[in-house]
Amino acid sequence: MAQQRRLYPEVEVTYRDLDRDPIPHLTAQTLAQTDPAEAAAAEAVMQQFLQADVIVIGAPMYNFAIPSTLKAWIDRIAVAGRTFQYTANGPEGLAGGKRVINASARGGLYADPTNDFQEPYLSQVLGFLGIDDISSCAQKAWRIRRSIAPMRWPRRWPGWVRKKRLL
């Protein structure tokens, strides 16, 4: 982010780290908005979203899906009458005109698309809000690569290896 800010100082960047500063998950109490501080915090999240032209989502894949902190953010921006509305022809997104870049990281390989609930979910929910300019990229198998990287193949195998059958 620092490099982007240096390259493009005219661009206003708002950085939100949902891991370091998580948004509370929805509960019956938060939906009722009986707490003025909670309502103000939810409105601040909504305004930040509505004012953004480009949104970059950087999130890991946890258990085939998005982190719960990202889901909590989505729950705050997916609000009937604000970012979508119900019409006689079905739901209509009100948050169009934005661009979303989804950059994800996955510890394993997910060649079977049925194991990826992250990208389809984000495309579905953002599309529901009226956002159709969505780009996705994924860093795959980072955990596998990281675990293999420290390995160094010896020039000469130790004695105990020479006595074993290797597959």
Annotated binding site for FMN: 61-64
Calpha distance 74→23 (Å, rounded):
10
Binding site: residue ranges? 61-64
Calpha distance 136→140 (Å, rounded):
12
Residue 61 CB neighbours (<10 A): 22
- Tokens (6 digits) for 139: 């860093």
| Interaxial angle between packed helices 36-51 and 68-77, expressed in degrees from 0 to 180 and rounded to the nearest 10 | 90
